[in-house]
Amino acid sequence: MQVRRTSYCSFLLAWFASYSSCASAWAHAGKSAAKRWEHRVVELDESKHDEEFWTFVTRPDLDAPRWNITIYDKAAVAPGYWFVAPYEEVEQEEGSAAWNAPHIYDQDGQLIWSGAPMFDGYSTFDFRVSNVRGEPMLTAIRPHYEYTAILDNTYTNVENVSIGLRDPEWDGIGHNMHEFLTVENGTRALFMNRSPKRASEEYSAAIGYDGECHAQYDGFVELDTDTWEPVFEWNSYGYIGLDESFVTQDPLEERCEGEVNDVWDFLHFNSIDKFANGDYLLSGRPSNAIYRISRNDGSVVWRLGGKKSDFDLPITFSGQHAAKIRAEDDNRVLVSFLDNAFGPGEPQTTNDASRGLLLALDTNTMTVEVVQEFKHPDGEYTEGQGNLQWVPGTDHAWICWRNKAMHTEHAADGSLIMEARFKAGVRNYRSFKLQWVGRPAQPPDVRSTAVQTRDDTIETIVFMSWNGATEVRQWQIYETNPSGTNTTLVATVDKTGFETTIWIKGYLGHVLVEAVDALGEKLGEPSVFATVPTLEQLVEADEYTSWIPSVLTNPMIAFLLGMIASVAGCLGAWGVIVSKRGDLTLPRWKRKQQMYASLSEEDKDSSELHDRQKHTDAEPERSGLLAGEDGHGVGED
Ligand SMILES: *[C@@H]1O[C@H](CO)[C@@H](O)[C@H](O)[C@H]1NC(C)=O
Ligand SMILES: *[C@@H]1O[C@H](CO)[C@@H](O)[C@H](O)[C@H]1NC(C)=O
Ligand SMILES: *[C@@H]1O[C@H](CO)[C@@H](O)[C@H](O)[C@H]1NC(C)=O
Ligand SMILES: *[C@@H]1O[C@H](CO)[C@@H](O)[C@H](O)[C@H]1NC(C)=O
């Protein structure tokens, strides 16, 4: 009698337990399906950007550093694009990541162009727009290959100009990665080089060295840009003495006995410019001096700064970079440069922080006036490199402070207009703000994919970008057939950043995308892109994965499952009771406890099995479709 009552009771409890486990499995299935959908949306929408670098659905080969920008005076910001080339090392054993490449950004810090695919991970320097034969071109020094690459406004690499040393008389060769400057409406190009040479006993005696001191004698070359033949060459040997260098920390013997690849770099030219009369302006970093070199006889016309300055200076500068002629007339020259105030020589610092300087040189009285000082926003030192440039058509100074590629724009009175630095720690040698119109020869990059949302509607997602195109303002998206002959405009969107994404209701099997400029003119030739997955794949995938919730939602099946579970539970309870007969001496509550514990273990097992099936079957299939890995459009090549 007691046994029958217990089994009746356990039947009810077993039925209740199995029904609730079924219900909870159903609820759980519904919830995890919802999560997966949301996850998909997030993954597609946010692309793969992280805080420090951008990566794009349309261009997985790019890896552009992102900016942290602070604008102090929005109205004053001069128009122009930023030209930077973040780098890892000057000399690299092998190519590195895609961020190590020349990049163009707009003034909001949005990526315009990455040279990563073209520049194969080997560092580039002095990347900027140069006038070459009267045309604006991109130029970038490539130390690894010892040439300057020249790209036209379609981003086609039209020339590589060798910057290796040309004079066979010298006992070694050396390129100089600091500057490639075109002048005189692009008819002439200037770059520096370096030549290891044994100084004469007389020159060596100037520093008290008994013998022939082995030193790096820097020079420069002027080329005709039609033929790339030299029209003028000059070397510092015989003009600039070893005794002008501040780099004297190492013992004399060590300095003067260096091997060819490691000679005393006593002068280290790091910038060049040309005067109207043909003379040249050069900056020697370890000599803390700026030199005017005569075009007529190669002599040093004057020295500004350093141990043998021809000018009376109201300030001291050191380790300076990018000495440039801002303006000149008969007896006055305005010279600007970045005073790193942090030399490779002794003393190491000459000011409490690095600064930009604009100096007025009076060449009659040989006196100097400080016209303007541009302060480092953080009051820090740029320990090497950096530059100061004038934004064309304005009186704004643009300064690169190297670390984190920080660059700043300053008004003529020195006040800060804006600053930007990379969020990642990567550095940059020089930065320029310049005008540029890029019309890439390569077509836009488009990816089209589709998803089915929870309420069973399909949406097509189109990603569009065009590496280097400066003129795009809008994208027009057309639905089309595989041959692109029948087109219907479905959406027009403003270009947002490098990559624009649009969600369109419905399934578009093929899309055709047109870039439109500010005047509404179409740019380039459109191509047709197939959506991945196809509609069939999408529906199949959805049917495949949605059987679990749909089965569980069906009330008939749920009821049957409940019944099966409760019968099983009942039989199980009966079995327990029978096997426990001998234990009838146990208190009733204790027997019940043992029985329920074994039942809930069973239930747990069966719900885990459900979960496992769901995950292993469904997920790989989906992520494969979603990633759109081979989503190349038909027309893309
Ligand atoms: C610069 O060169 C281009 C191309 O040769 C020419 O059309 C233009 O007139 C030149 N400009 C000046 C100022 O000489
Ligand atoms: C420049 O050099 C690269 C190799 O570094 C080469 O792939 C490219 O074709 C060269 N360009 C020209 C115009 O010669
Ligand atoms: C952005 O720069 C400012 C200084 O201008 C700094 O205070 C801030 O921490 C930087 N933020 C990030 C995310 O790097
Ligand atoms: C062009 O496409 C539209 C919309 O898909 C369709 O209604 C129309 O029949 C097509 N025309 C031709 C000639 O295929």
The verdict on residue 610 lying in a domain is yes
- Point out the ligand 3 atom lying closest to the alpha carbon of residue 70: 5
Please report which confidence band the pLDDT of residue 636 belongs to, taking 50, 70 and 90 as the band edges: very low
CA nearest to 544, candidates 609, 606, 613: 613
378 alpha carbon to ligand 3 midpoint, in Å?
A: 11
Instruction: Decide if pLDDT at 229 tops 90.
Output: yes
In a domain, 432, yes or no: no
526: domain range? Answer: 9-33+440-634
Q: How confident is the model at residue 259 (pLDDT cuts 50, 70, 90)?
A: confident
Cα 64 to averaged position of ligand 3 atoms, centre (Å): 18
The pTM score is 0.81
Beta bridge partners of 409: 398, 418
Q: What is the DSSP string of 540-584?
A: HHHHHHSHHHHHHH-HHHHHHHHHHHHHHHHHHHHHHHHHTGGGT
Ligand 3 lined by 378 (C-beta under 6 Å): no
Domain-located, residue 420: no
Looking at the domain assignment, is residue 26 inside a domain? yes
Is the Cβ–Cβ distance between 445 and 636 less than 8 Å? yes
Cα diameter, the chain? 126
> Rounded to whole angstroms, what are the CA distances from 71 to 9, 48, 391, 432?
75, 27, 17, 17
- Which residues face 369 on adjacent strands? 360
pLDDT band at 46; cut points 50, 70, 90? very low
Q: Which residue has the higher pLDDT, 105 or 583?
A: 105
Nearest CA to ligand 1 atom 1: 134
Q: Please list, in sequence order, all residues whose beta carbon lies within 8 angstroms of the beta carbon of residue 258, skipping any fewer than 6 positions away.
A: 214, 264
Look at residue 109 and tell me if it is in a domain. Answer: no
Convert the pLDDT of each residue in 444-492 to its tens digit: 999 999 988 777 789 999 999 999 999 999 999 999 999 999 999 999 9
* Local confidence band at 597 (pLDDT 50, 70, 90 cut-offs): low
Residue from 68, 407, 418 to probe ligand 3 pocket by mutation (most atoms less than 8 Å from CB): 68
What mean pLDDT is predicted for residues 370-375? 98
Number of the ligand closest to the Cα of 157:
2
Q: What DSSP assignment string belongs to 156-223? A: -EEEEEE-S---TTSSS--EEEEEEEEETTTTEEEEEEEEEEEPPHHHHHTTT-SS--EEEEEEEEEE
What's the whole-number mean pLDDT along residues 570-597?
58
**Residue 276's pLDDT is what?**
97
Range with lowest mean pLDDT among 449-453, 535-539, 611-615: 611-615
What mean pLDDT comes out for the span 524-543?
85
| Residue 594 placed within a domain | yes
- Give the span between the Cα atoms of 116 and 219, in whole angstroms: 31
- pLDDT, greater one: 264 or 586: 264
Between strands 175-183 and 157-162, the pairing is unpaired
What residue owns the CA closest to ligand 1's atom 7?
134
For the record, the structure tokens of 439 come out as 């019309």
Find out whether the beta carbon of 185 lies less than 6 Å from any atom of ligand 1.
yes
Instruction: Indicate which ligand has the atom closest to the C-alpha of 406.
Output: 3
The per-residue pLDDT of the chain, averaged, comes to 85
* Confidence at 502, pLDDT banded by 50, 70, 90: very high
When pLDDT is cut at 50, 70 and 90, the band that residue 543 belongs to is: low
Check residue 365 and give its pLDDT: 98
From the CA of 199, how far away is ligand 2's center (Å)?
37
Question: Is the separation of the CB atoms in 366 and 312 below 8 Å?
Answer: yes
157 CB less than 6 Å from ligand 2?
Answer: yes
| Mean of pLDDT values over 419-444 | 97
Q: Return all residues near 518 (Cβ < 8 A) that are at least 6 apart.
A: 471, 473
Which pLDDT does position 29 carry in this prediction? 46
191 neighbors 183 (Cβ within 8 angstroms): no
Q: How confident is the model at residue 5 (pLDDT cuts 50, 70, 90)?
A: low
pLDDT given for residue 271 in this prediction = 98
Specify the pLDDT at position 611: 35
d(CA 561, CA 569): 12
Residue nearest atom 8 in ligand 1 by C-alpha distance: 134
User: How many domains is the chain built from?
Assistant: 1
Mean pLDDT of 19-36: 47
List the single range of 49-53, 75-79, 407-411, 426-430 with lowest mean pLDDT.
Answer: 49-53
| pLDDT of 494 above 90 | yes
Tell me, what's the pLDDT at 589? 53
Percentage of the chain surpassing pLDDT 90? 68
Measured distance CA(176)–CA(21) in Å, rounded = 75
Please tell me if the CB atom of residue 486 comes closer than 6 angstroms to any atom of ligand 4: yes
Q: Which of 488, 490, 504 to mutate to test the pocket of ligand 4 (most atoms within 8 A of CB)?
A: 488
Nearest CA to ligand 1 atom 4: 134
Question: Does ligand 3 come within 6 angstroms of the Cβ of 613?
Answer: no
Q: What is the pLDDT of residue 85?
A: 98
Residue written as token pair 């260096």? 258
The tens digit of pLDDT for each residue in 544-555 reads 555 565 666 667
Q: What is the pLDDT of residue 217?
A: 94
Number of helices and strands (H, E) in the chain? 8, 35
Nearest ligand to the CA of 159 is 2
Ligand (nearest to CA of 150): 2
Provide the pLDDT for residue 619: 32
Question: Among 228-242, 359-373, 572-586, 622-636, where is mean pLDDT lowest?
Answer: 622-636
In this predicted model, what pLDDT tens digit does every residue of 172-186 receive, in sequence order? 557 899 999 999 999
pLDDT at 26: 52
Please indicate whether residue 333 or residue 585 has the higher confidence score (pLDDT): 333
**Could you tell me the two tokens for 207?**
């520093």
pLDDT band at 593 (very low <50, low <70, confident <90, very high): low
Let me know if residue 403 belongs to a domain.
Answer: no
Residue 442 confidence class, pLDDT cut points 50, 70, 90: very high
Whether 483 lines ligand 4, by a CB cut-off of 6 Å, is no
Q: How far apart are CA 509 and CA 224, in angstroms?
A: 54
Q: What was the pLDDT predicted at 245?
A: 98
CA angle (18, 20, 22) in 5-degree steps: 70
The tokens of 495 are what?
């270009």
Q: What is the mean pLDDT of residues 80-99?
A: 92
Say yes or no: CB of residue 70 within 6 Å of ligand 3. Answer: yes
Cβ(156) – ligand 4 distance below 6 Å: no
Q: Tell me which of 156, 157, 162, 228 to substitute to probe ligand 2's pocket, judged by most ligand atoms within 8 Å of the beta carbon.
A: 157
Average pLDDT over residues 199-218: 96
> What does residue 533 show for φ and ψ, rounded to 5 degrees?
-80, 165
- Residue at 359 is within a domain: no
* Ligand 4 midpoint to CA 486 (Å): 6
CATH of the domain at 531: 2.60.40.10
Does any ligand 2 atom lie closer than 6 A to the CB of residue 159? yes
- pLDDT cut 70: percent of the chain above it: 78
| DSSP labels, 342-371 | B-SSSSSBSSSS-EEEEEEEETTTTEEEEE
In this predicted structure, what is the pLDDT of residue 567? 78
Partners of 159 in the β-ladder? 150
| 3-state SS, residue 616 | helix
- The pLDDT value given to residue 48: 55
Distance of CA 156 to the CA centre of its chain: 20
Q: What is the pLDDT of residue 627?
A: 30
Q: d(Cα 48, Cα 576) in Å, to the nearest integer?
A: 56
